[in-house]
Amino acid sequence: MSEQQFFKVIIDNVSIDVPAGTTILEAARKIGGDVAPPAMCFYSKLKGSGGKCRTCLVEVSKGSEKDPRPMPKLVASCRTTVMDGMEVKNITSSKVTDARAGVVEFLLLNHPLDCPICDQAGECHLQDLSYEHGKAGTRYEFQRRTFKKHNLGPYIQLHMTRCILCYRCVYTADQLTNSRSHGVLDRGDHAEIATFIENNLENDFIGNVIDVCPVGALTDKTFRFKNRVWFLKPLDAHRDCPKCTGKVTLWNRGDEVFRVTARKDEWGEVEDWICNECRFDKKKTSDWVIEGPRNISRHSVISQGHYVNTITSQETFEAVNEGRQPKLLFDIHSKSDVNKTGVSLSLIDGPAVSTDFTS
């Protein structure tokens, strides 16, 4: 094999060398922090994903060393590969931030905002996206879209009104299970995730659609309404599983396992796919070998600061913006008596109770 070719790209004034064939998004993730564009549909582990949600749009201000012309339109960074000498503007381009705020508004247009009763709240990428890139308030004055309800069987709960049509669950079913029994029916704003005709989602490994779904459209029926995720202790655990790696995160309260998920990396992507048995059937602590607290690397607004060793993104904003200070996320914990900062859920013995937070 010939030697791997490396390209130099500059993203938001930060330079990095990446192998040819890398996408702008992946290159930006290597830099990390605010430079990495948000991605609601791209999933590095799912072939063919990306390009749809348009949250990762960036400006290419210089095409390459050879052809320095800027690209005429904003491009989807998840599906555009880098060229040598390319210069990209993400948060340093007002065109990008404007367009992105527009995309967030579009994504929220018909979203029910039923976070208070949504199991995804606290680990929802749409919540993060809205906080970080959206605008306060809505200009939409019409009734939000509703759908006829479909039952997907005993494992998976579908809330179509929350779906952002990222197609990740479709690719997951295609690429992980032996046959796909759901998909996108109809088109445009009336497109919906459904089975044809009324079918259960029960194939092995289908449970992974819950983990890839960026919003609360597909949630775990065996965990439905049982608890809020931020009251649970995430623990790394494993078991000898004949079908998958058996490496999971348990979400416990005391000794009680509330739910089992795959382990997710810093971008919210699954590290190892897990089988349905591990996810839905092994709900006793004794089923598992506990490794210790899971380091949650998400920047979710609600989970912020409540897990041991939370990996917060390294602050690149100052470097990128020539010393200007980063914008501050609204820090809910400093305002609220309930979720005090400095209280680490993973370290509380037994079930967390409200005084754990107010003391």
Partner 1 sequence: MAVKLLLDKAHIPNIRYYDVYRREGGYTSLEKALTSMTPESILEEVKKSGLRGRGGAGFPTGLKWSFIAKPEGVPRHLVCNADESEPGTFKDRYLMEFLPHLLIEGLVISSFVLGSNATYIYIRGEYAWIPDILEQAISEAKANGWLGKNILGTGFDCEIYVQRGAGAYICGEETALIESLEGKRGNPRIKPPFPAIKGVWDRPTVVNNVETLAAVVPIIRIGGEEYARIGVGRSSGTKLMSACGNINKPGVYEIDMTISVEEFIYSDEFCGGIANGKRLKACIPGGSSVPILPANLLLKTAKGETRYMNYESLSDGGFATGSMMGSGGFIVLDEDQCIVKHTFTLARFYRHESCGQCSPCREGTGWMEKILKNIDTGKGKMSDIDLLWDIQSKIEGNTICPLGDAAAWPVAAAIRHFRDEFEWHVKNPTTCLTKNYGIAHYADEIHVPVIA
Q: Is 36 in the site for ligand FES (CB under 6 A)?
A: no
Q: Binding string to ligand SF4 for residues 298 to 337, with x set by CB under 6 A, is what? A: ----------------------------------------
- Phi first, then psi, for residue 312 (nearest 5°) are -90, 150
Query: Distance between CA atoms of 316 and 266, rounded to whole angstroms?
Result: 16
Our finding on whether 40 is near ligand FES (CB under 6 A) is yes
Q: Which residues lie closer than 8 Å to 301 by C-beta, 6 or more apart?
A: 127, 128, 131, 329, 330, 332
258 scored as a contact of ligand SF4 (CB under 6 A): no
C-beta of 39 vs 176, nearer to ligand FES: 39
What is each CA distance from 195 to 45, 97, 296, in whole angstroms? 24, 37, 33
Alpha carbons 199 and 229: distance in angstroms, whole number:
29
Asked whether position 214 contacts ligand FES by CB under 6 A, the answer is: no
Place of tokens 């914990």: 333
* Listed residue (56, 55, 10, 50) closest to 31, CA to CA: 10
Amino acid at 327: K
CB within 8 Å of 221: residues ≥ 6 apart: 154, 155, 156, 157
- Contact string 78-97 vs ligand FES (x = CB under 6 A): x-------------------
Largest CA distance in the chain: 63
Q: How many binding residues for ligand FES (CB under 6 A)?
A: 13
Q: How far apart are CA 189 and CA 182, in angstroms?
A: 18
Among 213, 275, 278, 296, binds ligand SF4 (CB under 6 A): 213
Residues in region 118-177 near partner 1 by CB under 8 A: 139-140, 142, 164-165, 167
Q: Which of residues 39, 152, 212, 237 is near ligand SF4 by CB under 6 A?
A: 212
Residue 169 interacts, among partner 1, ligand SF4, ligand FES, none and using kind-specific CB cut-offs from 5 to 8 Å, with ligand SF4
Q: Is 176 in the site for ligand FES (CB under 6 A)?
A: no
Residues 58-117 that bind ligand SF4 (CB under 6 A): none
**Which range of residues in 12-20, 37-45, 67-75, 240-248 is near ligand FES by CB under 6 A?**
37-45
Tell how far CA 254 is from the center of its chain.
27
When the beta carbons of 33 and 214 are compared against ligand SF4, the nearer one is 214
Burial of 97 (0-12, 13-18, 19+ CB in 10 A): middle
Q: Which 222-241 residues touch ligand FES, going by CB under 6 A?
A: none
Q: Is 193 in the site for ligand SF4 (CB under 6 A)?
A: yes
Query: Applying CB under 6 A, which of residues 12, 33, 50, 280 lies at the interface with ligand FES?
Result: 50
Which residues contact ligand SF4 by CB under 6 A? 163-169, 193, 212-215, 217-218
Which residues contact ligand FES by CB under 6 A? 39-42, 50-56, 76, 78
